[in-house]
Structure 1
């Protein structure tokens, strides 16, 4: 089920060309093993993080455990990192299948030491 879409205002390349379709932010939700899964696709920065923030906020208010399927995130900056930390304080947030860039962001900031990061959505939904 598609929840909401947003488009990043980040320039996609030299000369201020628009972002590629793959970088457009989109958020969807589903369920795995009785746990709510928020799937994020595209690039997330201060201009495009709002739809994901709204989805995670609503999920955190309604569910004790939330899985973020990060396999479709092509870019994330401090705005995304801040959102993950804030959501972690509100609910049992689990980050599933982060892309290489997102995994690196979590590692260099130390966020991977307190966020539950798993290789798959299934693992994240099952972890305790």
Structure 2
């Protein structure tokens, strides 16, 4: 599946970034840019990362998620796909990652 990073229109200070496909060291740039833009925008108070369409993610994706988590405004919209879930479980990141079941629930947190 072709990789896609789509940024939905902001609503009430919440920016949703939808991820589809494979995310690794060679393909992370569009997602990294979307996340950087969201962090740098003073009107954004929460960043929702929709991970439901991720087929594969490696440690570079994990590193980006951890950096986003440190901003204090990241919420992951799931359900988290099994392969990404395994990475989050193995590294124990899932335990500290705010996750909601779907975009609407993530916006409401």
Which portions of structure 1, spanning 4 or more consecutive aligned residues, are displaced by more than 6 angstroms? none
User: Would you say 1:47 and 2:47 are equivalent positions?
Assistant: no
CA distance in 1, matches of 2:97, 2:104: 16
Structure 2 portions without partners, runs of 5+:
none
> For 2:66, what is the secondary structure of its paired residue?
helix
Indicate conservation of the 8 Å contact 1:36/1:66, yes or no: yes
Q: Could you say what the CA RMSD is over the residues aligned between the two structures, in angstroms?
A: 1.5
Number of equivalent positions: 105
Deviations 1:90-128 (A, max 9, x none): 24101111212112211221111211012211111111x
Deviations 1:35-62 (A, max 9, x none): 2100011100100011100101111121
Q: What is aligned with 1:74?
A: 55
- Higher relative contact order (Cα pairs below 8 Å, separated by 6+ residues): 2
Deviations 1:41-90 (A, max 9, x none): 11001000111001011111212210001011110010100000111122
Indicate conservation of the 8 Å contact 1:38/1:69, yes or no: yes
- With over 3 angstroms needed to count, the CA separation of the structure-2 counterparts of 1:99 and 1:31, relative to structure 1, is farther
TM-score of the aligned structures, taking structure 1 as reference length: 0.76
Question: Structure 1 residues 61-70 or 31-40, which shifts more?
Answer: 31-40
TM-score of the aligned structures, taking structure 2 as reference length: 0.88
CA distance in 1, matches of 2:11, 2:102: 13
Q: What is aligned with 1:61?
A: 40
User: Would you say 1:125 and 2:107 are equivalent positions?
Assistant: yes
Q: What is aligned with 2:68?
A: 87
